[in-house]
Structure 1
Amino acid sequence: MTQIPFSQLSLTPKIERAIGEMGFDFATPIQSEAIPLIRTGVDVIARSQTGTGKTVAFAIPAIEKVDNHEEKATIQVLILCPTRELAMQAADEIRKVARFKTGIRPVEIYGGAAIDKQCIRLRRANIVVGTPGRVMDHMRRKTLKLNNLKMVILDEADEMLNMGFKEDIETILRDTPESRQTVLFSATMPPAILKLTHEFQKDPQMIEINKDQVTLAEIEQNYLDVPHNRKKDALVALLDFHAPGKAIIFCNTKKMVDELAELLAFRNFSVESIHSDIKQSQRTSVMQGFKQGRTSILIATDIAARGIDVSDVDLVINFDIPANSEYYVHRIGRTGRAGKSGRSITLCSGNREVFSMRNIAREVKSKITRLDLPTTDEIKKVSGAKIISAMEEALQIEVKPFFSELTEQLSARGFSYQQIAAAAMQHYFERDMASAAIPHADKMDKESSSSVEKTAGKPKRKLAAYETILIDIGSSHHAAVNHIIGAIVDRTALLVSDIGKVEVFPEQTVVEIPAGRGDEIVNAMAGCKMCGKPVKTERLAGPGKKTGPKPPKSAKRG
């Protein structure tokens, strides 16, 4: 598709100026198709995957829809998002697009944040971006009134349905004026989405970006096959060899996220991590640091993946192979954005995972090439080039007399200037060369373990007192850990950090919750639906006791 400059989309001067300052010259395919169509006022269904620029695609028409000359502020645009990270991201993007336009007041509302502060901000808001559960909460409190609403936007509608928000979305839409415009963005079009569009949209116009070309077109995709107990060493070697300006590493569990963060910090990398156990304020701070370049490596779980919107990620590494092709696309879609090229590498261990990787390649219709781990000499060569570059920069700066005097003192003791320079570089850069000692993949000893694992780590987190609940939905119903956690957090007063271990079995899921709150949680979960299935929740065990059915032995742990 031919790229269309934003200057040809008839933007107002103030919005065009803001788009220019955001660094965008050309509209992505979804933007060039969606912006003109949404402006006409018709209901729209846009099928587009994460990373295609859809936030700007709906932000521009949403801002244009707002009458900013109202005497009394009313909510005119409502945007529903599946996660708090996406709500924050969308609100932030709207502020950037509207930075030169007065009277646009977006407010993000989501669980896990102080509701009284949100109530105060809602009094002046004309655009609301929120998660369905918190939007419903404000509607019940009468702090969010939608009688003057002009536009509703459902962002990542398929994921909201997967997380069990179907009934909430239906309730919200029924409480909005029939004259509203309804815009729906979704990566997939399952029957539940089609049913939603039939009920709540009027003659919707469809936009569908070629799935084979979306997100993955500009990404070089690779995989490695390394012994399981040498994956950490392989990860360090890859980071040293590729030296990315910004990289994201995805893991399947929170435990592995924490382990890798400790490992890479020990190796002297600039690294931060996010997962559901980390407080929202800290996650926000981590994301800001990553976006602004203060941190070069971010480690995350899938539940956090949809909230990551950074346009200049060079490399995505799947430390653990993703559960399916959809998760794979969501992960690697963090790179290769806004017309830039990117790279993804997935670490596989053994024939089974290699076979799974080939299945993913077939499903996403992409070529995923096998790589060999960089050799010791290749890593040394890259590291040496980095050292020379750093030294060249240092040599351009005038040396302070103190260090010149020290060099002369060493020379007087019989050391040559070459010896002094080499010793200084070794002292300064030796830790950065640590991964050069990692053996090549085909020579790795499966019985050995990472040297960092033998060092003293951080003290283990003291375990809280938990009891467990049983939910009659599992992997056979396509339920994942993020769906379970999202539904619980939305329907109860729990924060994500309150939830302990989640074990997903084929037909049921066991969840650790704070001790003493079992009855409260079970009552709150009454009538809940996940992945389109009504679910039943019951107490399984409390501290020191066991009740109810016994789950099977095998499970997916989160």
Structure 2
Amino acid sequence: MMNFEDFNISANILKAIGDMGFKKPTPIQKMAIPMALKSLDITAQAQTGSGKTLAFAVPILENIFIPDKSPQAIVLCPTRELCVQVADEIAKTGKYIKKLKVLAVYGGQPIGKQIRVLKKGVHIVVGTPGRVIDHIERDNLDLTGVEYVVLDEADEMLDMGFREDIEFILKNATFKRQTLLFSATMPEEIKKIAKNYQNNPKFIKIKNKSENIPKITQYSFKTNPKHKFDDLCKLIEAYDIKSALVFCNTKRGVDFVFKNLKKMDYSSEALHGDMAQKTRDKVMNKFRNGNIAYLVATDVASRGLDISNLDFIVNYDVPQNSDDYIHRIGRTARAGKSGFAFTLVSPQDEYSFGNIKSRNKTVIVERNIPSEAEIENIKNKKILTKVKQSINEEDFDKYLKIIKDNSTEDMTVEEIAAGLLKMMREN
């Protein structure tokens, strides 16, 4: 089996990869790193979470010339969240390269700070297309010396209307440029960009998260639109979902679910593309820090989110296609961990959901929405399980003596136990 040591990369990068906890290269890394190190252009079809950031970070860092403080590589991402994530991973991969400078540039952040850092000198720029062009037009960013351009999640950038911006940037970065394109899907527009702006690219296709999907337990639940929100609450109660990322297809749907969760006293926030960047950043930090339990989001707003220790994904709405489904459920079971993905399926969604199941060829078990009686039974069993565990602990005998001493003909030991269970359930 291939190791990172089998690549022709420097010791300081290998050490950083080890510090990050990566032991074996992922399929995209096995294929892309050797090709990129040979200065070949690459068009790669790979899902979020496949390890593609390291696949392009390593070849770029291997060839960065530190004394030259002008930008040598530019990475374009669809969202601010992904920019920050990618810049952070590149910086971690290059942390033993002295004086390496990596900068994330994106809208919603004061441009002055970005300008000051660019003036001091930056080796790698990671940015959203709009903000990158803003810096180019203000003469803050000169692409003359850029030797590497990466298009990360290219299909998402096209979906968000960035095609003209991408082409403008590619036309301005012409000096012996190596272009690496990564996309979850390969629509015709992506193929046209590859044809027009890459030099005989090598094509790589990685199967849809085949390594991660078995670690995600996937359930579907038939629902009726009238009772859909109530059914969501039943799932939260029955499966003891302490925290979850809940996906809706529209901003309107996000607002509806978020507002109703708040009414039910569930700690929740909304995340969608119409929100100001500062607000989105604040919401994401609250969710990452565990200050809110349920984040209700659209696909666009969630693109590029990397949240550790997220156990549950709930598709309140059935995704538009199989690629969106894979992207959504891939927010859980990160870094080899396990997770759960629940999908609420209304009658009008059955055809499209059937297509998702057949396309992905993964096991999605159909279950019934639990009844009120079943939820009560589940809650009681959870408490009794904890009680049984406590019986095996020390100092149990003194509590048993207290119960026996306080039992009478009018109040038996069993009635005291039932009363304690009632108190625990009601508190």
For normalisation by structure 1, the TM-score amounts to 0.66
What's the counterpart of residue 455 of structure 1?
none
Once residues 421 and 179 of structure 2 are traced to their aligned partners in structure 1, the CA distance between those partners, rounded to angstroms, is 62
For normalisation by structure 2, the TM-score amounts to 0.85
Counterpart among 49, 52, 72 of residue 50 in structure 2: 52
What's the counterpart of residue 426 of structure 2?
430
2:351 equivalent to 1:355:
yes
Deviation at 1:305, TM superposition (A): 2.3
> CA contact under 8 A between 1:218 and 1:342: conserved in structure 2?
yes
Stretches of structure 2 that go unaligned for 5 or more consecutive residues are 396-402
Name the aligned partner's letter for residue 338 of structure 1.
Answer: A
Deviation at 1:164, TM superposition (A): 2.5
> CA contact under 8 A between 1:110 and 1:131: conserved in structure 2?
yes
What's the counterpart of residue 318 of structure 2?
321
Once residues 273 and 182 of structure 1 are traced to their aligned partners in structure 2, the CA distance between those partners, rounded to angstroms, is 36
SS of corresponding position for 1:343 = strand
Once residues 389 and 6 of structure 1 are traced to their aligned partners in structure 2, the CA distance between those partners, rounded to angstroms, is 45
Counterpart among 157, 164, 169 of residue 167 in structure 1: 164
What's the counterpart of residue 86 of structure 1?
82
What's the counterpart of residue 554 of structure 1?
none
Question: As a proportion of its length, which structure holds more helix?
Answer: 2
Q: Percent identity?
A: 41
The one-character-per-residue Cα deviations of 1:227-250 (angstroms, maximum 9, x if unpaired) are 222112211221233334652110
The one-character-per-residue Cα deviations of 1:111-139 (angstroms, maximum 9, x if unpaired) are 22222222112223211111111111110
Name the aligned partner's letter for residue 110 of structure 2.
Answer: A
> CA contact under 8 A between 2:17 and 2:93: conserved in structure 1?
yes
Deviation at 1:79, TM superposition (A): 0.2
The one-character-per-residue Cα deviations of 1:399-441 (angstroms, maximum 9, x if unpaired) are xxxxxxxx9xx99xx988877776566445436xxxxxxxxxx
SS of corresponding position for 1:88 = helix
CA 1:389–1:325 in 2, change beyond 3 Å: closer, same or farther?
same
The one-character-per-residue Cα deviations of 1:456-487 (angstroms, maximum 9, x if unpaired) are xxxxxxxxxxxxxxxxxxxxxxxxxxxxxxxx
Deviation at 1:146, TM superposition (A): 1.4
Superposed counterparts of 1:388-399, under 5 Å: 388=384
Once residues 78 and 41 of structure 2 are traced to their aligned partners in structure 1, the CA distance between those partners, rounded to angstroms, is 21
SS of corresponding position for 1:210 = coil
Deviation at 1:340, TM superposition (A): 3.6
Once residues 264 and 24 of structure 1 are traced to their aligned partners in structure 2, the CA distance between those partners, rounded to angstroms, is 38
Once residues 61 and 389 of structure 1 are traced to their aligned partners in structure 2, the CA distance between those partners, rounded to angstroms, is 52
Please, which moves more after superposition, 132-141 or 182-191?
182-191
Deviation at 1:81, TM superposition (A): 1.0
CA 1:122–1:265 in 2, change beyond 3 Å: closer, same or farther?
same
Deviation at 1:144, TM superposition (A): 0.5
Superposed counterparts of 1:432-451, under 5 Å: none
Deviation at 1:266, TM superposition (A): 5.1
Deviation at 1:218, TM superposition (A): 4.1
Q: How many residues matched?
A: 420
2:297 equivalent to 1:297:
no
SS of corresponding position for 1:223 = strand
What's the counterpart of residue 126 of structure 1?
123
What's the counterpart of residue 399 of structure 2?
none
Deviation at 1:217, TM superposition (A): 4.9
Once residues 276 and 362 of structure 2 are traced to their aligned partners in structure 1, the CA distance between those partners, rounded to angstroms, is 37
Name the aligned partner's letter for residue 144 of structure 1.
Answer: L
2:353 equivalent to 1:345:
no
> CA contact under 8 A between 2:130 and 2:165: conserved in structure 1?
yes
Stretches of structure 1 that go unaligned for 5 or more consecutive residues are 399-406, 432-558
Counterpart among 183, 188, 207 of residue 185 in structure 2: 188
What's the counterpart of residue 26 of structure 1?
24
Please, which moves more after superposition, 49-58 or 148-157?
49-58
> CA contact under 8 A between 2:32 and 2:56: conserved in structure 1?
yes
2:250 equivalent to 1:253:
yes
SS of corresponding position for 1:27 = coil
> CA contact under 8 A between 2:310 and 2:332: conserved in structure 1?
yes
Superposed counterparts of 1:256-271, under 5 Å: 256-265=253-262, 267=264, 269-271=266-268
Deviation at 1:199, TM superposition (A): 2.2
CA 1:227–1:193 in 2, change beyond 3 Å: closer, same or farther?
closer
2:179 equivalent to 1:201:
no
What's the counterpart of residue 146 of structure 2?
149
CA RMSD of aligned residues (A): 3.5
Once residues 144 and 288 of structure 1 are traced to their aligned partners in structure 2, the CA distance between those partners, rounded to angstroms, is 29
> CA contact under 8 A between 2:212 and 2:336: conserved in structure 1?
no
